[in-house]
Structure 1
Amino acid sequence: MSETTTLETAKPKVPGRKKIKIFAQYDPTELEQMESLYTSTLSEISEEEIVKGKIVSISNKDVTIDVGFKSEGIVSLLEFRDEDEIKEGDEVEVYLENLEDKMGQLILSKRKADVLRIWDKIYDSIENDTIINGKIINRVKGGMTVSLSGVEAFLPGSQIDVKPVRDFDALVGKTMDFRVVKINPVTQNIVVSHKVILEEEYAAKREEMLASIKVGMVLEGTVKNITDFGIFVDLGGLDGLVHITDITWGRINHPSEVVELDQPIKVVVVGFDENTKRVSLGMKQLEPHPWENIEIKYPVGIKATGRVVSITDYGAFVEIEKGIEGLVHISEMSWTQHIKHPSQFVSLNQDVEVVILNIDKEHTKLSLSMKRVMDDPWIALSEKYIEGSLHKGTVSNITDFGVFVELEPGVD
């Protein structure tokens, strides 16, 4: 018998069966070649690094992954965010914690691999100004907590938006883009900002708008701030001011009577200073001027109803329509009463009936009368109180030069 004995000599011949050697029959050179071939099929991997592997099988609890090592690794199914989306044959990244445990098995972690990849994105964001996506998970003192795919970061309240945030709680659960602005390597605290992204977008839009804005342009915007003197409007990259006098043709005491914060409004550009880049806006200019055709709407002699909007020493201003108000002089308030001050006869916001006396369209001035709503009582009195007739009255005032007697209300 030869030194190399085959299985053919030990067993009956089987047609078509290849000759094979038992392990003991390989010489050292052949064993070395086999070991080399086997080693070449294995990946060169090291502990504490991210490696790529292929999913071999999926059970109810675990996922078996082949990373090209002599043994396969097992990862808990819970470490996969989308359990329903993975399948056998998928390539995944895992973190190699240990080449062999006591059982000679690879120790892998999908969760740690995901966290390390997120940290790569976080450092890339602060070093290269790249954008990273995150989800606001809850409100904390001074701002919000953001989850960057599992890594928590702090979003200061001042870094949420370019506009003041009215409702912080409404932001919880929202996903948006952020830029990492600060990292503390020791504590691993991360600070992110959404505002810086908006500012960059607004800066680009601002330049576009400044290059094209012209007086007379009608734009849409949002009420950003309300002050005593007007409204600041966000035009999408550029802010403009609607002065209180340009909000409505009528008289108002405060802009909040007409608009509210975050309200979308339509405005017209009424002025633009190229040096200061300030934009003046108007709202009332989008409506017809109330004084157009006023002589047709309110001809001299017609009666109208209005509201007392201002009282002065010499009379009261009555608004008969938004943007149209006129003066009732103190002498035009009553035929019979001796009025020392208009406040004795009328009060603010009182509805009164007036007669149009005169229209000065050029200077937008209107003269009104309250006493002329009724006929002049003195015409009838001359017929009622004939000279020589006797009448009863009440003493209303005594002076050095005589006595005033009231014959009837308003008639002394």
Structure 2
Amino acid sequence: HRKARTIMAWDRVNAAHDKEEVVTGFVKCRTKGGMIVDVFGIEAFLPGSQIDVKPIRDYDQYVGKTMEFKVVKINHEFKNVVVSHKALIEADIEEQKKEIISQLEKGQVLEGIVKNITSYGVFIDLGGVDGLVHITDLSWSRINHPNEVVELDQKLNVVILDFDDNKSRIQLGLKQLEKHPWDALGDEIKIGDKVKGKVVVIADYGAFLEVAEGVEGLIHVSEMSWSTHLRSAQDFVKVGDELEAVVLTLDREDRKMSLGIKQLTPDPWTDITSKYPVGSKHEGIVRNFTNFGVFVELEEGIDGLIYISDLSWTKKIKHPSEFVTVGDTLEVEVLELDVEGRKLSLGHKQTTDNPWDKYEKEFALGTVHKASISEIVDKGSVIDFNEDITAFVPQRHMEKEDGKKLTKGEEAEFKIIEFNKEFKRVVASHTSIFREEEQRNVKAAKKKAAASAEEAKPTLGDANVQLQALKDKMEADKKK
């Protein structure tokens, strides 16, 4: 009897599959990936994806229920039967979908259920037809994620904003059902007023301050500080900060507002001439440097430039980074002040005495100093007399008395043959020391030789005596 019932059950299941009939089954229990359903006494498998058209989060709610199914697959070899409840729903939904799509119009308000939430928006089930509410159309205020506004299975009204030609992609809006916050903004707010708000977004160029729900104003980075040396907005504010700002511009038609926070403090350039007169000395912080100099901040809003040539009296600096780093405290002197152009020219070396005034006497032309060859270069060598004075020795002036050349690290005496304070150029010579000595010796020898020759030269009187002696001798020879 049991075997006969089983055979009859299989015949009924096959007939239902072939004729696509709807069968009734009892959901017995959960299993991996779906449910077990009793159909005509046969245990059939109901996959989780075939329970409903929407994603199922709670499978247990179906256990113990009698439901209608459609037999979608039979495996005779393994005696497996697969059924679907979703297939029945889809047939009904398809009819509803056609009816809904035919009636869709822009601006139409429909009720839907939140079907899925993603980072970029929310999918709404409009009764067989899905539409997307983009994250920017959920709220007039800025939100980081749609789940701040809606939740799954929530019923809500949405408005149709747009759709494609075949109405397969429907764009919905939620915030459009509410009055725009700018329309509710009070007429009492005007340019020059102070407003309070919260920083909601930060970019490099500025920060957006929400002064009312859905109403934002931009604080450009140039309006955050009186400083002309612009920095990133992150240096001044962070998201979530509660700030007070001044309304600079207000355009209700375009719904734009620009704000400023530097206007809450007095402009430091108003009394610049009394605070930073030319010749006064101050301390500042290195904020930035370029190839040609260093920007130093004396106080918030007061920046000055030190040209690279005004950093040191003695060091030859190719780039300011060789001398200072950002954040260093530097002593400076005000060299020039342009109030209209809001420019300060500063100097660092001017805060100390120029050591070249002292060195001009110490290393005067012709003075001799001892030093070692510190570096050999293409056209000569370099020697360091001290930490400030570096001299160049040309190739021909490196020759020693024995004819050999000076080598790196070798110590010797050097004579200053050029000293230029303006261009900080010092040229020295080792060769000229003994060459001049040789020249002096040669001159002395020539002078001595000339003197000896002068002494040996016969006079006119000597010649007459010698001539008379010669005559006397000749006469005596004749007499003999």
TM range (shorter): 0.5 to 0.7
Residues 404 and 387 (structure 1), Cα distance of their counterparts in 2 relative to 1, 3 Å cut: closer
Give yes or no for contact 1:251–1:322 (8 Å, CA) kept in 2.
Answer: no
Q: How many corresponding residue pairs?
A: 294
Deviations 1:179-206 (A, max 9, x none): 1112344544221101101111110100
Cα offset, 1:360, TM superposition: 1.4
SS at the partner of 2:37?
strand
Aligned to 1:262: 153
Deviations 1:145-178 (A, max 9, x none): 1123643211012211112222333432333221
Residues 135 and 345 (structure 1), Cα distance of their counterparts in 2 relative to 1, 3 Å cut: same
Residue 68 of structure 2 corresponds to residue 177 of structure 1: yes
Residues 186 and 395 (structure 1), Cα distance of their counterparts in 2 relative to 1, 3 Å cut: closer
Residue 116 of structure 2 corresponds to residue 220 of structure 1: no
Residues 200 and 303 (structure 1), Cα distance of their counterparts in 2 relative to 1, 3 Å cut: same
Cα offset, 1:115, TM superposition: 6.9
Give yes or no for contact 2:159–2:177 (8 Å, CA) kept in 1.
Answer: yes
Residue 243 of structure 2 corresponds to residue 352 of structure 1: yes
CA–CA separation in structure 1 for the residues paired with 2:276 and 2:78: 105
CA–CA separation in structure 1 for the residues paired with 2:7 and 2:44: 15
Which ranges in structure 1 are unaligned for 5 or more consecutive residues?
Answer: 1-96, 98-110, 406-411
Q: Partner amino acid for 1:290?
A: P
User: Which of 123, 131, 136 matches 1:245?
Assistant: 136
Q: Partner amino acid for 1:236?
A: G
Residue 112 of structure 2 corresponds to residue 198 of structure 1: no
Q: CA RMSD in A?
A: 3.4
Aligned to 2:42: 151
User: Which of 14, 19, 22 matches 1:131?
Assistant: 22
User: Which of 128, 137, 141 matches 2:32?
Assistant: 141
Cα offset, 1:266, TM superposition: 1.7
CA–CA separation in structure 1 for the residues paired with 2:143 and 2:185: 21
Residues 112 and 299 (structure 1), Cα distance of their counterparts in 2 relative to 1, 3 Å cut: farther
Residue 224 of structure 2 corresponds to residue 320 of structure 1: no
Residues 395 and 362 (structure 1), Cα distance of their counterparts in 2 relative to 1, 3 Å cut: closer
Residues 335 and 386 (structure 1), Cα distance of their counterparts in 2 relative to 1, 3 Å cut: closer
User: Which of 169, 177, 180 matches 1:289?
Assistant: 180
Q: Partner amino acid for 2:22?
A: I
Q: Which has the larger radius of gyration?
A: 2
Residue 90 of structure 2 corresponds to residue 161 of structure 1: no
Mean Cα deviation higher: 328-337 or 299-308: 328-337
Residues 174 and 374 (structure 1), Cα distance of their counterparts in 2 relative to 1, 3 Å cut: farther
Q: Partner amino acid for 1:159?
A: Q
CA–CA separation in structure 1 for the residues paired with 2:127 and 2:284: 73
Cα offset, 1:122, TM superposition: 3.3
Give yes or no for contact 2:281–2:333 (8 Å, CA) kept in 1.
Answer: no
Cα offset, 1:323, TM superposition: 2.4
Q: Output aligned runs, 1:309-388, within 5 Å.
A: 309-335=200-226, 340-374=231-265
Residues 204 and 395 (structure 1), Cα distance of their counterparts in 2 relative to 1, 3 Å cut: closer
Q: Partner amino acid for 2:195?
A: A
Deviations 1:227-269 (A, max 9, x none): 3332211111111111222111122233233223333222111
Give yes or no for contact 1:395–1:404 (8 Å, CA) kept in 2.
Answer: no
SS at the partner of 2:105?
coil
SS at the partner of 2:263?
helix
Deviations 1:10-30 (A, max 9, x none): xxxxxxxxxxxxxxxxxxxxx
CA–CA separation in structure 2 for the residues paired with 1:303 and 1:118: 81
CA–CA separation in structure 2 for the residues paired with 1:359 and 1:173: 64
Q: Partner amino acid for 1:141?
A: K
CA–CA separation in structure 2 for the residues paired with 1:297 and 1:192: 67
Q: Partner amino acid for 1:257?
A: E
Q: Partner amino acid for 1:360?
A: D
Residues 377 and 387 (structure 1), Cα distance of their counterparts in 2 relative to 1, 3 Å cut: closer
Q: Output aligned runs, 1:85-124, within 5 Å.
A: 122-124=13-15
Which ranges in structure 2 are unaligned for 5 or more consecutive residues?
Answer: 286-295, 297-304, 312-331, 335-343, 345-480
Residues 182 and 331 (structure 1), Cα distance of their counterparts in 2 relative to 1, 3 Å cut: closer
SS at the partner of 2:208?
strand
SS at the partner of 1:291?
helix
Give yes or no for contact 1:339–1:345 (8 Å, CA) kept in 2.
Answer: no
Task: From the two aligned structures, give the one with the greater helix fraction.
Answer: 2
Aligned to 2:400: none
CA–CA separation in structure 2 for the residues paired with 1:288 and 1:377: 43
Deviations 1:260-313 (A, max 9, x none): 333322211111323353211101101111111435163333322222233333
Deviations 1:349-394 (A, max 9, x none): 3221112222112322111111234555666x68996999xx9975
Residues 135 and 310 (structure 1), Cα distance of their counterparts in 2 relative to 1, 3 Å cut: same
CA–CA separation in structure 2 for the residues paired with 1:351 and 1:299: 20
CA–CA separation in structure 1 for the residues paired with 2:3 and 2:243: 79
CA–CA separation in structure 1 for the residues paired with 2:156 and 2:93: 19
CA–CA separation in structure 1 for the residues paired with 2:222 and 2:50: 62
TM-score relative to the length of structure 1: 0.62
TM-score relative to the length of structure 2: 0.54
